[in-house]
């Protein structure tokens, strides 16, 4: 068994994936790492690039070619196929801090922890600047149970997907699956949590997260284009929230509830704001259907959204009663 699988979903990434892969290739670590490249039906020459790496580094790199199905299908396949004790997802336009890999792998090799969070850095293409993200010093290098972590550090939890490493068996044993299309990273962050027993936060910077492409799903253009996927994801995690055991640690449960609330509010905003999908064809009917779904599914969340305010006005409740969309009159639409 390898110590770590780097899972890289690939779709039309021939221009950037080499940078990502090269950052992981450390000779001394070849016995410990697997780079699992899943080509999700790319239409450019991405597969050719991946095969070249696989041929050159057959003991380290494995390529799986599949029909296009979306980011989530690559993640779900990677969970089943990974040979590493641990699994870390890295997008093809991101990369890792090569100089820190030995320390990171050494920790993984010598510990058996369900969930590991690390520092990360964001790179902003438009300004060519790096922004490092760290956590409060008192949580570093302290393996503990997840419940103890939440009890002792209830406000320390802010780990995006590029900070997370899972013990692979936790994902596999609990049949963790995310949605096929966009925004499955939120599901990937949430679904394993009820099954995580132990956690450790490391002061090691691992991932460099690329920001700045209009093609990214989290850009304004991306949200406008994929708002239906976002709304569908918010519905799935709401169902996940409803199935949580009543015995779950209260702070963790509250974190999941807050995440669900936030995604539902953003789904409303994406469908109401003109800078996103507010003027898209058919979006008004989709907004009505979404609002009806929430009312039928969770009256408390429905009520909560109605109390949220923009410019001092409960804008969703205003829309519900009078079909007046305050966001359509806002200059920024935010």
pLDDT in tens, 56-112: 999 999 999 999 999 999 999 999 999 999 999 999 999 999 999 999 999 999 999
Report how far residue 261's alpha carbon sits from residue 294's, in angstroms, rounded to the nearest whole number.
Answer: 11
Q: What is the mean pLDDT of residues 14-30?
A: 97
Q: How far apart are CA 167 and CA 143, in angstroms?
A: 14
* Pair 212, 125: CB distance under 8 Å: yes
Predicted local distance difference test score (pLDDT) of residue 289 = 98
- Contacts of residue 66, defined as CB under 8 A and 6 or more positions apart, other chains included, come to 38, 39, 40, 41, 73, 74, 77
What pTM was estimated for this model as a whole?
Answer: 0.94
**How far from the centroid of its chain's Cα atoms is residue 147's Cα?**
22
Mean of the per-residue pLDDT values of the chain: 94
pLDDT range class, residue 188, cuts 50, 70, 90? very high
- What is the predicted pLDDT for the residue at 158? 84
Q: What's the CATH fold of domain 2-211?
A: Spore Coat Polysaccharide Biosynthesis Protein SpsA; Chain A (3.90.550)
> What is the C-alpha to C-alpha distance for residues 179 and 262, in angstroms, rounded to an integer?
18
Given a cut of 70, is residue 214 above it in pLDDT? no
pLDDT of residue 330: 61
Question: At how many degrees (to 10) do helices 315-322 and 250-272 cross?
Answer: 50
Residue 106 is predicted with a pLDDT of 98
For residue 334, pLDDT over 70 is answered with: no
Q: Where would I find the beta strands (DSSP E) of the chain? A: 2-10, 33-40, 61-66, 84-89, 95-96, 115-124, 129-133, 144-145, 164-167, 198-211
Separation CA 118–CA 27 (nearest Å): 23
Percent of the chain beyond pLDDT 90?
87
Check the CA dihedral 30-33-39-43 and report its sign: negative
- Whole-angstrom distance, CA of residue 268 vs CA of residue 287: 7
Q: What are phi and psi of 316, to 5 degrees?
A: -70, -40
The predicted model gives 250-260 an average pLDDT of 93
Interacting residues of 321 by C-beta distance below 8 A, sequence separation 6+: none
pLDDT at 328 over 70: yes
Asked whether the predicted pLDDT for residue 236 surpasses 90, the reply is yes
pLDDT in tens, 274-325: 999 999 999 999 999 999 999 999 999 999 999 999 889 999 999 999 999 9
Q: What's the average model confidence in pLDDT over 37-58?
A: 98
Q: Is the pLDDT of residue 223 over 80?
A: yes
């Amino acid at each position: 068994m390898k110590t770590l699988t780097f899972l890289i979903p690939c779709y039309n990434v021939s221009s950037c994936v080499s940078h990502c892969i090269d950052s992981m290739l450390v000779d001394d670590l070849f016995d410990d790492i697997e780079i699992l490249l899943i080509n999700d039906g790319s239409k450019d020459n991405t597969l050719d690039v991946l095969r070249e790496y696989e041929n050159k580094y057959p003991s380290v790199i494995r390529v799986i070619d599949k029909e296009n199905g979306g980011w989530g299908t690559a993640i779900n396949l990677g969970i089943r196929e990974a040979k590493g004790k641990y699994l870390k997802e890295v997008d093809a336009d991101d990369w890792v801090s090569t100089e820190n890999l030995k320390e990171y792998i050494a920790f993984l090799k010598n510990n058996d922890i369900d969930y590991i969070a690390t520092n990360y850095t964001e790179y902003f293409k438009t300004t060519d600047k790096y922004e490092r993200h760290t956590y409060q010093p008192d949580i570093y290098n302290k393996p503990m149970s997840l419940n103890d972590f939440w009890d002792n550090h209830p406000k320390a939890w802010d780990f995006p997907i590029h900070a997370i490493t899972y013990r692979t068996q936790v994902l596999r044993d609990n049949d963790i699956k995310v949605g096929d299309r966009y925004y499955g990273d939120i599901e990937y962050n949430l679904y394993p949590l009820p099954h995580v027993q132990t956690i450790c936060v490391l002061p090691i910077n691992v991932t460099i997260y690329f920001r700045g492409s209009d093609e990214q799903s989290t850009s304004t253009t991306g949200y406008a284009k994929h708002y239906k996927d976002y709304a569908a994801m918010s519905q799935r995690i709401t169902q996940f929230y409803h199935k949580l055991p009543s015995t779950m640690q209260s702070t963790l449960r509250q974190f999941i509830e807050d995440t669900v609330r936030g995604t539902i509010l953003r789904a409303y905003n994406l469908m109401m704001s003109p800078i996103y999908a507010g003027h898209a064809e058919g979006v008004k009917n989709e907004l009505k259907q979404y609002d009806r779904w929430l009312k039928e599914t969770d009256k408390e969340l429905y009520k909560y959204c109605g109390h949220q305010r923009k410019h001092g006005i409960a804008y969703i409740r205003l829309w519900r009663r009078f079909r007046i969309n305050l966001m359509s009159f806002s200059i920024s639409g935010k």
